[in-house]
Amino acid sequence: MKKITCLISALLLLSHAVMATPANTLPYVPDSAKQLRVMISSDAKNEADDDFAIAHALLTPTFDVRGLIASHYARTAPMMGIKLPTMQQSYQELQRLKQVMGDLHTPLYHGALQPLGAKAQPLSEGAQAIIAEAKRDDKRPLFVLVLGPATDIALALQRAPEIASKLTVIWIGGNPYPKGGWEYNLFNDPQAANVLFQSTVPLWQVPHNVYMSMRVSLAELAVKVKPQGATGDYLWQQMLDFNRFASAALKNVPWPKSEVWVLGDNPAVGLLLDDHQYHYQQVSAPRVNDDLTYGKGAQTRKVRVYEDIDAHFILEDLFAKLKLAYGQ
């Protein structure tokens, strides 16, 4: 009986994947010489925007997505009444998104369970995957998109510092310069951010003042995302569900707003399509202080810090790819 039940479950999963597979293809073929390898570290269940960025990446043919890494959000979870461990919740959310998109080939890895701390922790499965991909014999550029805390890429750089020259990190996190201060992704692992800043890895940082410009309304998502097949409906519904949950969990605070959200992780995808060359400055890498402000770091170490983002370009590319892939 157990074998029959497992067989039925497998068949249901396969049929769902077939139905969710994009019905249409993009009406163009990107230059294969410009293809990029991409790995994505995501605290996918921390709120509702990560799924939009990951779906965007998986629908972008310029990217060869080499793996998804489920990251924790251990320090902010208690604020929302969310139980630990959070990494497993992110892992399960990424599983659900892959299933609804019919993605049967992108590897999914477990990330670290907690932030870097005084005690050493095991090398996470995600960190191992980053190291392996960086050392693989492949001439295509490798980008690691960090949509949450930088724990897993930091673990990888600590274990194998030689990979710093073999990849570029795009991190959504931190507050504006020069002051810095409390910011969600930074708060979840400030020590990991310091590892990034003090390493030699090329780093593109998209701070809070920039990623907050990726505003969308629920009405816009209802029109442009929800109708786009099972994937569009899933993205819409998990956004609506989290909006209700957060509104009930957080009383007497201005967030979340009633009809507005921020797709703050999608800039990591958009910057790989076009790097916005006039929208950033090279800044001396800071050291993150205990209060999350920026202190003086090594003046010779420069990081690319974005000051602006073309939200219209990035959002319209997402909406168009969803419609081309899943629209009727």
What ranges do the domains of the chain cover? Answer: 35-214+263-309
72 pLDDT more than 80: yes
Cβ neighbours of 55 (radius 10 Å): 27
**Structure confidence by residue, pLDDT tens digits, 34-70:** 999 999 999 999 999 999 999 999 999 999 999 999 9
pLDDT of residue 131: 98
Q: Which two tokens stand for residue 64?
A: 């060869």
What's the average model confidence in pLDDT over 89-106?
97
Of 273-282, 284-293, 300-309, 319-328, minimum mean pLDDT range: 319-328
Cβ neighbours of 10 (radius 10 Å): 10
Three-state SS for 283? strand
- What CATH number does the domain located at 35-214+263-309 have? 3.90.245.10
The model carries a pTM of: 0.92
Locate all alpha helices (DSSP H) within the chain, ordered by sequence.
2-20, 50-58, 86-101, 125-135, 151-159, 184-187, 190-198, 208-211, 218-224, 229-249, 267-273, 311-326
298 pLDDT more than 90: no
Phi, psi angle pair for 115, to nearest 5°? -65, 165
Distances in Å between the Cα of 271 and the Cα atoms of 137, 198, 208 are 25, 23, 16
What's the average model confidence in pLDDT over 21-32?
77
pLDDT of residue 24: 59
What's the average model confidence in pLDDT over 199-217?
98
pLDDT of residue 23: 53
What's the average model confidence in pLDDT over 102-108?
96
* Measured distance between the N- and C-terminal CA atoms of the chain, rounded to whole angstroms: 40
Mean pLDDT for all residues in the chain: 92
pLDDT of residue 79: 84
Provide the b/e sequence for 115-126 (b: ≥16 CB within 10 Å): bbeeeeeebbbb
Three-state SS for 81? coil
